[in-house]
């Protein structure tokens, strides 16, 4: 039996396929890289690297890409996505989700064939072992839920003391709060990660090209009891 987050009996969707999908969506809309970058709040060089398969976007940049291309997030992963309507359903067999790998996480998007879902379910393998592996805390519109399937996870935020989650534990939190997850056990942790869907029209109202949604990690120090953290302002 394949471990969640591995290929199993399904064929993984490569980063090259994701890159080709982004390029095809852009060209179908007769948009230049610069136009997509401006609409998404990303650098043109970032769009170019993604389309060349040289850069795997983080989740918040996937949201920005969807906004810039004016598509549903699911359309970045699947060749055909149908809007959710009454009575519709979607089934993803074990290991058959749409895949994308980043330096910190391996994502398997579940039920990618349905667009306009309220939630985006992701089976995620957490590869990162330290916050130093991230450019900063991840921050984006919406809310999130994580349930630990295997391993041990440490959820770090810019608001709370780091939270350790073991197998069977879960947490629900505001995505606008800077956050990241790292594996702290012997093996890479696997979690069910559910993000509330934010459609491109909503994203356009919150994206400011001058403001990065990846926030620098604050300098922190422990004072007194372990459950007390104070930030040092630069």
Q: Which residues are 111's β-sheet partners?
A: none
Q: Which residues are 197's β-sheet partners?
A: none
SS3 137: strand
Rounded Cα distance between 170 and 220, Å, is 25
pLDDT digits (tens, 9 = 90+) for 140-154: 888 999 999 999 999
Q: Which residues are 196's β-sheet partners?
A: 119
Place of tokens 């199993």: 8
Q: What is the pTM of this model?
A: 0.70
pLDDT digits (tens, 9 = 90+) for 38-94: 999 999 999 999 999 888 888 888 888 988 998 888 788 776 556 666 788 889 999
Task: Report all structural domains of the chain as residue ranges with CATH numbers, in order of start.
Answer: 15-79+95-208 (2.60.120.10)
Tokens standing for residue 150: 């295997």
């Amino acid at each position: 039996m394949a471990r969640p987050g591995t290929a199993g009996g399904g064929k993984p969707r490569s980063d090259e396929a994701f890159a080709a999908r982004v390029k095809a969506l852009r060209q179908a809309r007769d948009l230049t890289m610069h136009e997509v970058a401006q609409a998404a709040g990303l650098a043109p060089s970032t769009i170019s690297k993604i389309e060349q398969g040289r850069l795997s976007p983080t989740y918040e940049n996937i949201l920005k890409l969807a906004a810039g291309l004016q598509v549903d997030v699911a359309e970045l992963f699947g060749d055909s996505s149908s809007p959710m309507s009454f009575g519709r359903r979607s089934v993803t067999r074990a290991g058959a989700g749409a895949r994308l790998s980043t330096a910190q996480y391996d994502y398997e998007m579940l039920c990618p064939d349905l667009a306009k879902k309220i939630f985006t379910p992701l089976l995620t393998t957490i590869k990162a072992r330290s916050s130093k592996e991230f450019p900063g805390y991840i921050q984006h519109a919406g809310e999130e839920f994580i349930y630990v399937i295997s391993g041990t996870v440490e959820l770090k935020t810019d608001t709370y003391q780091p939270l350790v989650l073991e197998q069977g534990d879960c947490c629900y939190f505001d995505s606008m709060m800077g956050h990241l997850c790292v594996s702290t056990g012997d093996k890479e942790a696997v979690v069910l990660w559910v993000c509330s869907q934010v459609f491109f029209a909503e994203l356009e109202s919150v994206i400011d090209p001058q403001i990065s949604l990846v926030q620098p990690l604050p300098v922190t120090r422990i004072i007194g009891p372990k459950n007390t953290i104070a930030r040092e302002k630069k």
